[in-house]
Structure 1
Amino acid sequence: MVICVPARNEEQALPGLLAALGRLDAVGGATVCLYLDGCVDGSETVVRHAAASAPFALLLQVGPGSTASNAGVARRAAMAMGLAHLAGADGLLFTTDADSRPQRDWIAAGRAALDHADVVAGRIVRRHGARDGAQTRLEGYYNRLHAYRRLIDPVSWEAHDTHHFSGGANLAVRASAYRAIGGFRPLPFAEDATLLDDAARAGFRVRRDGAMLVETSSRRHGRAPQGLASALRAADVGEVPRVAHPAQMAWQWREHAAMRFGFPTIDHGRTCATLGARLGLSDDHVRGVARDCPNAEAFAMRIVPAAPGAADLVTLDEAEDALARLEASWCEAAA
């Protein structure tokens, strides 16, 4: 089992991370791979000093950094260290951030989650998060939205205590799945969410599990141009968040459920016609997509487009009201 961490100029944060990793249950069997990406501070000195007394094996790689480097490039490099250490074995890869602190049972929770899935996104909580009311409200909305998604599109591998987070500060993946997906893309932001999307489109089971918990910082300066730091800065100046309308998302998730349900009988002509009619697609198109999919999850993720009007954003107030109506309708239908 390998923990992979990218870092850039994190000499202040690294001692807290390394101390938290040292307190992990069963950490004695882990290897920590730290990739320092173009650091010009004392990060390397901090890591080399900690390696002498760490209760885990600590591997360090110092990258040169360049104008082409970014968050995705750095995380991909850290994961490459982990893959090299596994030497082709199908082990477990965990990743977090230098300013984050996994909870003591992080490894155990990740292992338990990977008994049911191929990729796991854990819950992320912010230190001093109570000070950031606007961000907390937005995260609460997305948690409700994801819970609603699993009401209308349930999957057997999802956690009971689920959530919306998909951040690189708290991910675990089977090495075999990571290799098959092609790894993190070298993107300046959203490399983590993209990995989860790529995994689902490849037919792997993506689980969001609240039992796997990491605490991260509430800092306002981060590397990813559209990451958490950027969101917190926007909230600080009173910027009103705008989000996709939940009804549009619900349409897409209902279609995911329908496609997943229909996939086992996709070779029947009537099934192709029925599914195609739902999406405005021909029988041949549906059959062609299905032919390239290893399972129902891949088919559902690939065949269903974004909902019409999904790019038309609404205020958070409007989205919360609309989601409340959707939740009420579901409760009435289930009663």
Structure 2
Amino acid sequence: MTRPLETAHREPARIDAVLVVVPARNEESRLPRCLAALGEAVAVVREEFGADAPAISVLVVLDRCTDGSADVVAEWPWALTMESDAGSVGTARRLGVDRLLAGAAPAHTWVATTDADSAVPRRWLAVQLALAEAGTELMLGTVLPDADLPAGERARWHDEHSLVDGHPHVHGANLGVRADRYLAAGGFSDVDSDEDVLLVGELRRLGVHECRTALIPVITSGRLDGRAPGGFGGYLADQVAANR
């Protein structure tokens, strides 16, 4: 049995803008799933919040892409793109947030991040928005590996991971933060992996109010050769090797 969501006991914060940043490197085969899911999540916010729905921007950061990723994103006219030569997921996330934050009011802006090889659930943004407006400053969600991870290994993964409210996990594929707190923490670092863990560490040092929820799990690639060294793919590969 999971325990209830952590609830904020702070002054509610009106959110006028939601910024979604998606780093991508050579993900033309997985981007359609990612963008379709994000499009649905945006539509749900507009349905549920109506005239009170915030402006929502989705930006795909094409980080050293040499495939057709840019052409794929072009098929989704509501999705913005920018190119990066950094070759670093941390830098790609940071550049994307910087781009979208230009001209925004940080105290009334929510930043959500996911990955190009992932698919968010329908209410991914709606739940984050409700939490943010209740005073949550940092949302940490869970992830589930898809069928790229063999069935036996996937079953073992579920047995070894407790995906409940209050979970201990940090995933850049399922993270949200209020923009003013993001900026106060220094933003994402220019690193090849663990940029999410480093950011959360700084946010916790600031004493932000966080919610660790299992309500909105993100489906992510179960491949063992991920794009980021030390990322989720590398973690899965290590787990598989350890169980052989």
Distance 1:101 1:85, change over 3 A: farther
Query: Which position in structure 2 is the counterpart of 1:118?
Result: 137
Report the secondary structure of 1:224's partner residue.
coil
| Structure 2 counterpart of 1:44, from 66, 70, 88 | 70
Query: Which position in structure 2 is the counterpart of 1:188?
Result: 192
Query: How far apart are the structure 1 equivalents of 2:65 and 2:239?
Result: 29
TM-score with structure 2 length normalisation?
0.80
Distance 1:89 1:48, change over 3 A: farther
Query: Which position in structure 1 is the counterpart of 2:49?
Result: none
Query: How far apart are the structure 2 equivalents of 1:87 and 1:13?
Result: 33
Query: Which position in structure 2 is the counterpart of 1:225?
Result: 229
Query: How far apart are the structure 1 equivalents of 2:144 and 2:168?
Result: 12
| Pairing 1:86–2:90 present | no
Q: How does 1:128-277 map to 2 (within 5 A)?
A: 128=147, 130-132=151-153, 133-140=155-162, 161-237=165-241, 239=242
Query: How far apart are the structure 2 equivalents of 1:183 and 1:89?
Result: 15
Query: How far apart are the structure 2 equivalents of 1:88 and 1:231?
Result: 33
Equivalent pair of 1:31/1:58 in contact (CA under 8 Å): yes
Query: Which position in structure 1 is the counterpart of 2:8?
Result: none
Query: Which position in structure 2 is the counterpart of 1:107?
Result: 125
| Pairing 1:73–2:91 present | yes
CA shift for structure 1 position 240: 5.1
- Which amino acid in the other structure matches residue 165 of structure 1? H
Query: How far apart are the structure 2 equivalents of 1:196 and 1:21?
Result: 23
Query: How far apart are the structure 1 equivalents of 2:107 and 2:45?
Result: 20
- Which amino acid in the other structure matches residue 74 of structure 2? R
**How many residues are treated as equivalent by the alignment?**
214
Query: Which position in structure 1 is the counterpart of 2:114?
Result: 96
Greater CA radius of gyration, 1 or 2? 1
Report the secondary structure of 1:81's partner residue.
helix
CA shift for structure 1 position 7: 0.6
| Pairing 1:16–2:20 present | no
- Which amino acid in the other structure matches residue 192 of structure 2? P
Query: Which position in structure 2 is the counterpart of 1:59?
Result: 80
- Structure 2 gap segments, 5+ residues each: 1-17, 47-52
CA shift for structure 1 position 184: 0.9
- Structure 1 gap segments, 5+ residues each: 52-56, 148-160, 242-335
Equivalent pair of 2:107/2:178 in contact (CA under 8 Å): no
| Structure 2 counterpart of 1:31, from 57, 73, 92 | 57
Distance 1:3 1:234, change over 3 A: same
Query: How far apart are the structure 1 equivalents of 2:152 and 2:128?
Result: 29
TM-score with structure 1 length normalisation?
0.59
CA deviation string 1:248-305 (max 9, x = no partner): xxxxxxxxxxxxxxxxxxxxxxxxxxxxxxxxxxxxxxxxxxxxxxxxxxxxxxxxxx
Query: How far apart are the structure 1 equivalents of 2:83 and 2:159?
Result: 39
Moved more, 13-22 or 106-115: 106-115
Where is the helix percentage greater, Structure 1 or Structure 2?
1
CA shift for structure 1 position 215: 1.2
Q: How does 1:299-310 map to 2 (within 5 A)?
A: none
Query: How far apart are the structure 2 equivalents of 1:240 and 1:172?
Result: 33
